[in-house]
Structures are given as structure tokens and as C-alpha cells.
A = this chain, B = another copy of it.
């Protein structure tokens, strides 16, 4: 049987997994709103973000309680700090989904993403959502090998982003400045969601092994 400290720590990680599930829903709905121009779905992402913020506060309080009452040292201490950082990143991923939803809402009844770049943007959105889904599993199962794999797949997102710039800045871009600016910012938001997913995966590696997968990443 695990001691009280490690039981409470497990509860914190269960909460992180649950919040990651909320973020996954936010990313999926934001993309749905973006690609369909559905104002109600965009609105829901924006409203529901408050729940992610509240969940973050609850996890922070639990982590503070653990630190304060159990006085962990060395490895255990670093694990709790890592959990605090993970929840901050999850909240940011929620905020970034809100940014996507707000661009979708701004263009209703139109769709922000024009036909020509729809495929690239859909792939970016799917990649981001997939990375969030996987990082939820990585947190849940403390899965180091899946975490390391996620770090490698970040390159896919980078390639998609570069490709979107090639399309935007090509001579045959026919959708004007507004759509280009939207697509550039949307690409930035999805890329940041992916960055945070990788960063959280790296923190899980650190939590399990005590080693940082990349210098300065944890």
C-alpha cells in the first residue's frame, strides 16, 4: 500500500489527466467552430474555459497542501513542482483554444479558413488535438516511451506550419490579407498547443525517471 503522500500525489495526477481531457474537448470544439463557422460552438469553448481555470486552481491548492503538510524533499519535491508547471501549461492550452474560438466567432457567418489552405489548417488542428489526447494518456500512465515519441512528432507540426507560410506567401494566394493574418495567428496558436503538449510530456519523463529529456525543458 502506498503512503498518504503518494496517494495524494496520485490524486493530483488524476486531476491533471482530467484537466487534459477538458483541454482536449476545448481544442476539438474550437477547431469545429473554426472549420464550420458555428458561433454557438465557439461561444461554448469561450464560456467553458472558466471551468479549466477553476480546475487549475483546485490542483494548485492540492499541490500547496501537499508541499506544506508533507514537506517533501528532493525527488518528491520536484515532482510536485512539475505538477504545478503542468497545470499552468494545461491552462494555457485552454486559453489558446479560446483564441482559436474567438477568431472563428469574429468571422461568423463566414469561415476564417479559406478553401485553399483548409487542408493544411485541418491537419494542424488534428495534430494538435492528437497530441493533447496522447499527452493525457501519458500523464495517466506515466508513459515515458510515449512521451519521448510525442517529442519527436512535434516536427510534424513544425512542417505543417512552414507549409502554411509557403501557401500564404505564395504568388497564387488569392484570399487577401485578412485570411492570411487569421491563418498565421491560428497556426501560431495550434503550434503553441503542440509545444505545451511536448513540454508536459517532457515533465512526465522527468517525474518518472528524474532525468530531463532535453536540457532546459523541465
Contact = CB atoms under 8 A, between A and B. Distances in A.
Given A64-B77, A67-B77, A84-B81, A169 B185 contact: no
A178 interface: yes
Interface of A: 53, 56-57, 64, 67-68, 71, 73-74, 77-78, 81, 84-85, 88, 165, 168-169, 173, 176-178, 180-181, 184-185, 188, 216
Nearest to A177: B180
A67 B184 CA distance: 42
Contacts of A77: 64, 67-68
Contacts of A57: 216
A68 B78 CA distance: 9
30 contacts: A53-B216, A56-B216, A57-B216, A64-B81, A67-B67, A67-B81, A68-B73, A68-B74, A71-B71, A71-B73, A81-B81, A81-B84, A85-B88, A88-B88, A165-B181, A168-B181, A169-B177, A169-B178, A169-B181, A173-B177, A177-B177, A177-B180, A180-B180, A181-B181, A181-B184, A184-B184, A184-B185, A185-B185, A185-B188, A188-B188
A21 B45 CA distance: 38
A85 to B, nearest CB: 7
Given A71-B71, A184-B185, 20 more contacts: A56-B216, A64-B77, A64-B78, A67-B67, A67-B81, A68-B77, A71-B73, A81-B81, A85-B88, A88-B88, A168-B177, A173-B177, A176-B177, A177-B177, A180-B180, A180-B181, A181-B181, A185-B185, A185-B188, A188-B188
